[in-house]
Amino acid sequence: MRICIDPGHAGRLTDPGAVSPFTGLRESDVVLSMAFMVQRYLQAVGYEVLLTRTQDEQPETDDLSYRTNLSNSWGADLFVSLHCNSAGSSSAQGYEVWTSPGQTQGDILATKIFNQVASEFLDRVGRADYSDGDPDKESRFYVLMYTDAPACLVETAFISNEEEGQLLANPTWQDRYARAIARGITDYVGG
């Protein structure tokens, strides 16, 4: 099984993603750290894992087609993009999992990951859209539309929320989240 993990954004200088207004924590740093953790858990159960970004600063990854082409040319069986959410309001909180529009295998993957995150973090809010029978939200995000493999995008928590930003900065919390994502992936693969 080949799993492509996509740590969002290109790095501190090129594109740090969202930045905490409270601590200066950068999304690009959090998701890279978590991607390495997910990789370790998936490799431990025998999966091959490719990260679309492996360094703090990797300008070529600012081109989203670089990420999707990397996954496609490697022949990934699944694609999971990691992000931290952000909002203008510091009270926004919770996690989301996104897929492309319509019912695809990505919806099943997203549901497995959403359910594992929900069971790991009973104290966090799952921001779901059950209008089509599953918890994922849908959008035409580039990385979801142009990967050949079933794909989803995980918004782990709101970096713009003071409490969630502190959680995102905590390596133990990151590790718990990475394990939940890895369990969701193994749930999908297991059927």
**Model confidence pLDDT, tens digit, residues 77-95:** 999 999 999 999 999 999 9
The three-class DSSP label of residue 1 is: coil
Q: Considering the entire predicted model, what is its pTM?
A: 0.97
CA angle 125, 177, 154 (to 5 degrees): 65
Which pair of tokens denotes residue 26?
């950068």
What pLDDT is attached to residue 191? 76
| Residues in the chain with pLDDT values less than 50 | none
Between CA 147 and CA 131 the distance in angstroms is 25
Q: What is the pLDDT of residue 35?
A: 98
**SS3 of residue 25 by DSSP:** coil
Residues 7 and 32: beta-carbon distance below 8 Å = yes
Contact 165, 93 (CB under 8 A): no
Nearest by Cα to 29 from 48, 1, 8: 8
Burial of 177 (0-12, 13-18, 19+ CB in 10 A): buried
pLDDT in tens, 150-160: 999 999 999 99
- Amino acid symbol at 160: S
